[in-house]
Structure 1
């Protein structure tokens, strides 16, 4: 499909735009309005979606390796079993979204993830993956207030200056992660792995559970 065909598919839809399983890899779809679209299992590898509106979309099992979603809106989107390895979501808004999948090396610097649910689905451990994998993720200055990252694999993730107020990071793997100058007031880190984690200048540590 071309950008023009995708735009026509969206604008011509009488109900929820349906792009399930479509190969949209490598397309420049920046600025398009995908609100509420069904992109289940779509191939968006290498796509440019900068500034696109993907609020309340179904991106379950979608592939977005190396995609660019800078300043994109994904409020309330569902990203179950998504592949976002190496994607750039700097400045994107993922508030209230549901995310489980592969986000290794993802760039979420300055992104909004308020009340986002990235917690493990332990009731479905037979499904792959059952938890979010964010090794080497960049989350500098990101807003993760009230977010759920329970059981998240976050080794060597960069949280410098991030807002983690009231976030749930119970059982999270933070080995080698950098939380320098992050605000962790009211966060829950019980049973988290802090092997080699940098906590220099962390704010609000006195009110945190599990950061002894």
Structure 2
């Protein structure tokens, strides 16, 4: 009979196949347990932290500190499997943080997973699949989400200060009350997104699609929005909080 200790031991193997077997064993143990287990989540988190490369982001800018080639593949098979399991394994409390900060998880497949309360500070998630992912209350300050797919993602009350969301697809995403101070959203698609009460102070939203986005009570003080598709400055003044630093230039139809 598989034991928790034996499954965790496999995660430390030098062989990828053995590590994958250990991940599968942990998932089965969790599925068979009558109550949530915290140990499997911590063991999977430790595997990801040990095996995933460190982020190369400058945490002041959410930009790479050194040039890098265009990414052609996501994380290694065992890291991807551990991430998938982490997003599906129940936690004793949803308020327990998952610490995945400072890692390079670019192009990871995380769609539909539960990553609420995840600590993803300065994490590289460029071109990651985060469609319909639950990131509520996650901490993504200084993270690189450029080109990420976030359609239908839940980002309510998530912290994204100074994150890079250039070219990200956020159609129909839930950004209710999300903190996006000084974020970069150049070329992002926010059509039909829920931005009610979102904080976008000092954000750059050049060439952003805001068609049918709900910006009621959003804080747009100091936000720069050039070449946007969607609301005019007068439209925004009637529903959101703006100031003399708010700039809006609508893209000609």
Per the alignment, residue 89 of structure 1 pairs with 125
SS of equivalent to 1:86: coil
**Structure 2 residue ranges without an equivalent (≥5):** 1-11, 31-38, 53-74, 243-253
Q: Normalization by structure 2: what TM-score?
A: 0.66
Query: Which structure has greater helix proportion?
Result: 2
> Residues 36 and 87 of structure 1: is their aligned pair in 2 closer, same or farther, counting only changes over 3 Å?
closer
Q: For residues 65 and 146 of structure 1, what CA distance do their matches in structure 2 show?
A: 26
Q: Is the 8 A contact 1:155 1:177 kept in 2?
A: yes
RMSD: 2.7
Q: Is the 8 A contact 1:75 1:94 kept in 2?
A: yes
Q: For residues 12 and 76 of structure 1, what CA distance do their matches in structure 2 show?
A: 22
Please report how far the alpha carbon of residue 8 of structure 1 lies from its aligned counterpart in structure 2 after TM superposition.
2.6
1:152-191 aligned at under 5 Å gives the runs 152-191=178-217
**Structure 1 residue ranges without an equivalent (≥5):** 40-53, 120-130
> Residues 3 and 83 of structure 1: is their aligned pair in 2 closer, same or farther, counting only changes over 3 Å?
farther
Per the alignment, residue 155 of structure 2 pairs with 118
1:19 is aligned to 2:32: no
Deviations 1:111-154 (A, max 9, x none): 000000111xxxxxxxxxxx211100100000000000010010
Per the alignment, residue 99 of structure 2 pairs with 63
Per the alignment, residue 46 of structure 1 pairs with none
1:102 is aligned to 2:139: yes
> Residues 13 and 140 of structure 1: is their aligned pair in 2 closer, same or farther, counting only changes over 3 Å?
same
Moved over 6 A (4+): none
Please report how far the alpha carbon of residue 68 of structure 1 lies from its aligned counterpart in structure 2 after TM superposition.
1.2
Q: Normalization by structure 1: what TM-score?
A: 0.77
Q: For residues 3 and 185 of structure 1, what CA distance do their matches in structure 2 show?
A: 50
> Residues 36 and 89 of structure 1: is their aligned pair in 2 closer, same or farther, counting only changes over 3 Å?
closer
Q: Which has the larger radius of gyration?
A: 2
